[in-house]
Amino acid sequence: MLYGACYYPEHWEKNEWASHAKLMREANMNTVRMADFAWGVMEPEEDVFDFSLFDEAIELLAKNGIKTILCTPTAGPPKWLVNKYDILQRDRYGRPEGWGSRREGCANNAAYRYRSAKITEAMAKHFANNPNVIAWQIDNEFGCHASTLCYCESCRRAFCAWLKKRYGTIDNLNKKWGTVFWSLGFSSFDDIILPAANSCEPENAQAWSHNPSLDLEFRRFSSNSWVDFQQMEIDIIKKYTNAPVSHNLMGHAPDIDYYDLSRGLDFVMWDNYPDNQWGGSDYEYVSMAHEIMRGVKDRNFVVAEEQSGPAGWDCMGANPEPGQLRLWAYQALAHGGEGIIYFRFKALNYGMEQYWHGILDHDGIPRRRYFEIQKTGAELKKLEQYIVGKKNNYDALIVRDYPNIWSHSIKRHQRDFSYTELVYSYFRANAQLNINTAVSIGNYERYKVVYMPAYNVVDEAEIAKVTEYVRNGGTLVTTFRSGQRNRKNNIASTTLPCAFAELAGIEVEEFDPLRKTTEITGLVKSEAKIWCDIIKPITAKALCAYSNRWFAGRAAITVNSFGKGKVYYVGCDLTEPAQKELVRYISEQAGISPIDAPRGIEIIKREDFTILMNHNDYEETAPVTGTSLITGEKFDGKMRPYGVEFIK
Ligand code: GAL
């Protein structure tokens, strides 16, 4: 199992390396990840390559039993490159991104692609036969700093060509997009625009002022541009070595279709910062991020950057409390992680990330956080057998899909509606009932319940699959704002919920994007604040109805028998307790046994044992007893603050 730290030899004096390597070795580490952003060191001038610093560092680390994951440095284009070539992305106003940070390059810019290919090829050739380079990482965090969408002329041209392949003729595109509206017809593919700022747009607005098909296709194209850029580097590396290739993804990040991005990778890595300058995340949110990362390839992953200290850019989040670093590592491993690489080994004295603390602070003296990571490393040697190659016993699936993320952000339905929050709320309800829940697309038949909240951009093939799943006895849960849009982001002429109408056995006759709180009674009691569908059950029966306002008495939540299965339709948003009760009911009906536990206790069922975590800073009792696989002793349910247990 990989256990280590991000280590940047170019940040330290050479005479410091040996003591760093020794500390890593003594902390039970076996891996470092390096060289992301080191372009300027490896190619100080155009076509002048020098890898000697990395050769030496890799060698010295290897002598300490530490292998290297080597990153291509293309997220950090050096100054000579931007001096000579205009590679900078353009924003919605056509302004070039300022250079001076990172990720400024445009995926479709010929010079950036050419220079990226050259450094990648030079590295691949140079390091291909180095036995201490055990894996490669392409670039760093595609889509970070909102850099997915670029409005430059190279992107426009590439977009036109991409559309031509998909639509064939311009008449077809005009028809499918409905460009007759407001005289937006294009006369040729070369004529097509990018959805940049236009006359309809208040300053700093997000994309919504264009034709919705143009907007959605541009999101797809932009995501695909990075997938394509990544593939370019993968292909180069694969010419020279069989070492596995990865990239570090960003959990919940919405801008790149991670199913597409991970297809070309041998395995997924991702960067996990539960508490930084921008806020602390609820543990369920972090668990969901891990599940998203496991779900994109339906395969276990490695954490490429795991938080190891107070973190931030101009100010910091909290210092991880005693036990928290260990807990966060196990949380990742409990949700499909197979390796932990901490960011970073030591805090740096200079540069933008001076405040992003590592395992060691600026003075380099091993203290509490170092010792906790060291101890966890020792413990993991024993527990590895319960981690590597293992899979949880999943009962439920949350479908989370990128075209839906994009479409819902282009047309938000109601000012407070958020697709990603709705999807998360169903994950959270399941997590609080300790129902192991995967986040992915497809393979429905493996799960007792499949949630497709606000699944609005409908892929016909996916609807056919889910229909088959329900017919064979599966349980589907879908909600308001589902089934209405096609893949071009246009609205169907059928009655809501359109593609789901037959499955759900209902018609939504009217709806109300809410300005007034609406009450719901029946199976659960709740309030809706965002949306109410006013439902007419056809073959379905009502489980809940509205109890105030002009549609009092009309159905709000329904269930329909379809084939051997069931379809629940939730026509409104729910309070957190009501949603939990609804999920409990649906789960029990589907043969799942929810487990109630105090908030903060997380229970993961894996093969024939259980992983327990206490996310609270106080003792709690978990409703599980048995024998601890960590200590071999009897376990009575008592969990220490931030405690972790493996119980059989
Ligand atoms: C990640 C990035 C790292 C480092 C870290 C802390 O997004 O991959 O290079 O910047 O965050 O900001």
pLDDT of residue 204: 59
Does residue 201 have a pLDDT over 80? Answer: no
Phi-psi region of 107 (alpha: psi -120 to 50; beta: other; left: phi over 0): alpha
Write down the catalytic residue from 43, 104, 141, 602.
Answer: 141
* Residues 75 and 102: beta-carbon distance below 8 Å: yes
pLDDT of residue 203: 64
Does residue 249 have a pLDDT over 70? Answer: yes
pLDDT of residue 198: 87
CA atoms within a 13 Å half-sphere pointing along the CA-CB vector of 438: 27
Helix (H) or strand (E) holding 220: helix 212-240
Across 321-325, average pLDDT: 98
CB atoms within 10 A of CB 648: 11
CA neighbor of 520 nearest in space, from 500, 496, 544: 544
Does residue 202 have a pLDDT over 80? Answer: no
Across 620-641, average pLDDT: 97
Helix (H) or strand (E) holding 440: strand 437-440
- pTM, whole model, 2 decimals? 0.98
What residue ranges of the chain are covered by domains with CATH 3.20.20.80? 2-150+223-386
What residue ranges of the chain are covered by domains with CATH 3.40.50.880? 396-589
Q: How far apart are CA 510 and CA 530, in angstroms?
A: 15
Expressed in angstroms and rounded, the spacing between residue 119 Cα and the centre of ligand 1 is: 21
Share above pLDDT 70 across residues of the chain, in percent, rounded to a whole number: 99
Band of the pLDDT at 200, cuts 50, 70, 90?
Answer: confident
The domain defined by 2-150+223-386 folds into TIM Barrel (3.20.20)
Q: Tell me which residue has its CA closest to atom 6 in ligand 1.
A: 356
Q: Does domain 396-589 have CATH number 3.40.50.880?
A: yes
Ligand 1 binding pocket, CB closer than 6 Å: 36, 140-141, 144, 271, 305, 343, 353, 356
Q: How far apart are CA 474 and CA 471, in angstroms?
A: 7
Does residue 295 have a pLDDT over 90? Answer: yes
Q: How far apart are CA 123 and CA 108, in angstroms?
A: 22
Burial class (CB within 10 angstroms; exposed 0-12, middle 13-18, buried 19+) of 266: middle
For the chain, the average pLDDT equals 97
Expressed in angstroms and rounded, the spacing between residue 307 Cα and the centre of ligand 1 is: 10
Note the pLDDT tens digit of each residue in 508-520. 999 999 999 999 9
* Residues 320 and 328: beta-carbon distance below 8 Å: yes
Is 588 marked active-site?
no
Strands (E) located in 146-221: none
- 508 CB contacts (<8 Å, ≥6 apart)? 480, 495, 496, 497, 533, 534, 535, 536, 571
Across 174-202, average pLDDT: 93
Write down the catalytic residue from 43, 291, 305, 306.
Answer: 305
Q: How far is CA 11 from the centre of its chain?
A: 29
Phi/psi of residue 478, each to 5°? Answer: -130, 170
Expressed in angstroms and rounded, the spacing between residue 151 Cα and the centre of ligand 1 is: 25
Expressed in angstroms and rounded, the spacing between residue 364 Cα and the centre of ligand 1 is: 20
